[in-house]
Structure 1
Amino acid sequence: MRTSEWIQAGFATILAVAAWIRPLPAGRRRIVTLLAVLALLAIAAARSSQRVFDPYSVSVLRDWLPVVLMLVPYWQTGQFFMGPNEKIQSWLIKTDRSLLNVVPHLGGAFDRLTRGSIEWAYMFCYPLVPLGLGVLYAAGLRQYTSTYWFLVLVPTYVCYGITPFVPALPPRSIHAEPKAAANKGRVLNLWLLKYGSIHAISFPSAHVASALAVSLVLLHFVPIAGVVFLVVAFAIAVAAVVGGYHYAIDVLLGAAMALIVAAAWFSHLIPSTLITAPAMALAAGF
């Protein structure tokens, strides 16, 4: 299997096992387990499709499969959320106020931004990962897909892994906002979150981690595109805080996750063989 497939299959399985160890309702345990099974079946099906399709088509399919499978651990971690921990949530709120008070000069800048532009900026967190892979394809650098997914999946999944230990509601769910503040972008974002989110924060912010990770990969391979994606990633981070989708601390920690993994790779602390191929002992049976 590819390294990205090992990461996704392994993480989904770990969460399934954790669901049976932690005190969860039976229904939630079954959902976490079912999601893990679906992820494993999707990976197996993609690999087995070589019996039907040509090798190139199968390879492309496996390049893009992580885009869909990234949602699996997100929904799995959502099943661990039984309600906010008041102490943790209070700490997040206090930390948020402290961090935002450090940069009071930004308040005016935020006031000048239209609410619509903030909401549309945040919405870029959804298509940014597949767009980044599309840039690699367009640049003729598909051979670096494994590197791309390693540097994106690792910080994102670390954020997912920490999330169950920091159960808290996002700021937007705590602080009431006037109806006049709603605009089309806000309405669409809230609709997407209502039907597609876990209704809790991912701590650290997985959206920020993945967005920054994508931009850092592209900065290395396609610098011009990387600069554009970096600006978008910054806009997503700002919008996440201003729009009340995340606390400032989990946005900062999400960015830190992406930076740490990328720095380890740039410094050659991560062996290239770990990214391009699984260990032979693990791969032998597949």
Structure 2
Amino acid sequence: MPNANVEPSLSRSEHNAISRLADIVNVVRAFEWVSVAYFGTLSVVALVRPLPTARRAAIAGVGAVLCAAIPGLARAAGDGLRSTAPLAVILAGYYLSGAFALDPSPGFERWLLSWDRRLLGDPAVRFVHWPRAVLAPLEIMYVGCLLLVPAGFVVLRSAAAAPALIDRYWTIVIAAEFGSFLSLAFVYARPPWALAQRAALPDRAVHRAAAAFVERLTIRANTFPSGHAAGSLAVALGVIGPLPAAGIVLLALAVAICAAAVVGRYHYAIDVIAGIVLALVIFRTLG
């Protein structure tokens, strides 16, 4: 009588498949797994949410392709490409989340606006008396926020930081950015500049230029928490440990970007507060 406890032997193809899977698990870094989890979540949510068929297929398809491409890149690419790929991955994650922005939630928008009124009074004119010499640089730093992400990486790389520190940097930054973008898959609110009265600021030329940039090159949807706040603070936190001086400079820029998000009415005040909390929680969790 055959022994019932003997496990069936695996075929060569099954052994090869298991070996390839083990290779992927071993080689994929933490920030790459965070990216795979994010795009996988977007794909699944797109399949269950009431979206137009073409949009559902586009989100799910792009998300699935990226879920496969990121581990594939991890196996095939060199360290240089893998260390810079997060820049493109973050942009892809941002614009893909914007594909969910179809029908705004009036209740959520009212809640966001209520916090603005509670914290700022009339947010449209709250900063009208601030000097142009302060407001103009704030607006410029807000528009240039995206440059802060590669700047943090370049600082670490230029200082010959250990690969583990660069991996940790990208894990903190990507988790903060994608943690901010993810809410759009579930609830959509318009940003304050699109929903309510725009900011009345004395630096009109700079503000008009910054507002035009935001209107034309962003997804025109409000991320909660604020990706600008969470991402910029995450950059500073990812650098400040190994390189305190550079980290303090980046932290000052992050604070300015957070202020600009509220002053220019690009984000609600509670967005920025939530973004700061998110970045701190991620930093504390990762140690």
Q: For this structure pair, what is the TM-score category when the shorter chain's length is used for normalisation? A: 0.7 to 0.9
Listed as ranges, the matches of 1:1-80 within 5 Å are 1-40=28-67, 42-43=69-70, 46-47=73-74, 49-50=76-77, 58-80=78-100
Q: Which amino acid aligns with 1:46?
A: L
- The count of residues paired between Structure 1 and Structure 2 equals 257
Deviates more, 1:174-183 or 1:161-170: 174-183
CA distances 1:184-243 after superposition (whole Å, capped 9, x unpaired): 543443343334322111001012101001101211110000000000000000000001
In the alignment, the residues of structure 2 paired with residue 243 and residue 179 of structure 1 have an alpha-carbon distance, to the nearest angstrom, of 9
Question: Per the alignment, do residues 180 and 254 of structure 1 end up closer, same or farther by CA in structure 2, a change over 3 Å counting?
Answer: closer
C-alpha separation in 1, matches of 2:199 and 2:114: 23
Structure 1's 122 and 259: CA in aligned 2 closer, same or farther, altered over 3 A?
A: same
Percent of paired sites with the same residue: 32
The match for 1:97 is: 117
Q: Which consecutive residues of structure 2, in runs of 5 or more, have no partner in the other structure?
A: 1-27
Alpha-carbon distance, 1:41 to partner: 5.5
Q: Displacement, 1:110?
A: 3.2
Give the SS at the match of 2:110: helix
Provide the secondary structure at the position in 1 that maps to 2:219: coil
Q: CA deviation at 1:179?
A: 9.3
TM-score, length basis structure 2: 0.81
For 1:218-272, what per-residue CA distance to the aligned partner results, in whole angstroms no more than 9, with x for missing partners?
Answer: 1111000000000000000000000111000010000100011112233xxxxxx
**Alpha-carbon distance in 1 for matches of 2:200, 2:259:** 22
Look up the SS of the partner of 2:101 in the other structure.
Answer: coil
CA-atom RMSD, angstroms? 2.6
| SS of residue in 2 equivalent to 1:172 | helix
Question: Aligned runs of 1:1-286 on 2, under 5 Å?
Answer: 1-40=28-67, 42-43=69-70, 46-47=73-74, 49-50=76-77, 58-101=78-121, 107=127, 110-111=130-131, 113-143=133-163, 144-177=165-198, 183-266=204-287
Cα separation, partners in 2 of 1:183 and 1:48, compared to 1, 3 Å = farther
Indicate conservation of the 8 Å contact 2:128/2:201, yes or no. no
- 1:89 Cα shift? 0.7
- Contact 1:212 1:233 survives alignment (8 Å): yes
Moved more, 244-253 or 31-40: 31-40
Consecutive unaligned residues in structure 1, runs of 5 or more = 51-57, 267-286
AA of the residue aligned to 2:99: Q
Question: How far did residue 2 of structure 1 move?
Answer: 1.7
| Greater CA drift, 58-67 or 155-164 | 155-164
Q: Is the 8 A contact 1:39 1:72 kept in 2?
A: no
Three-state SS of the structure 1 residue aligned to 2:190 is coil
Distance 1:17 1:118, change over 3 A: same
Partner Cα separation in structure 1 for residue 227 and residue 98 of structure 2 = 13
Flag the structure with larger Rg.
2
Q: Distance in 2 between matches of 1:184 and 1:28?
A: 37
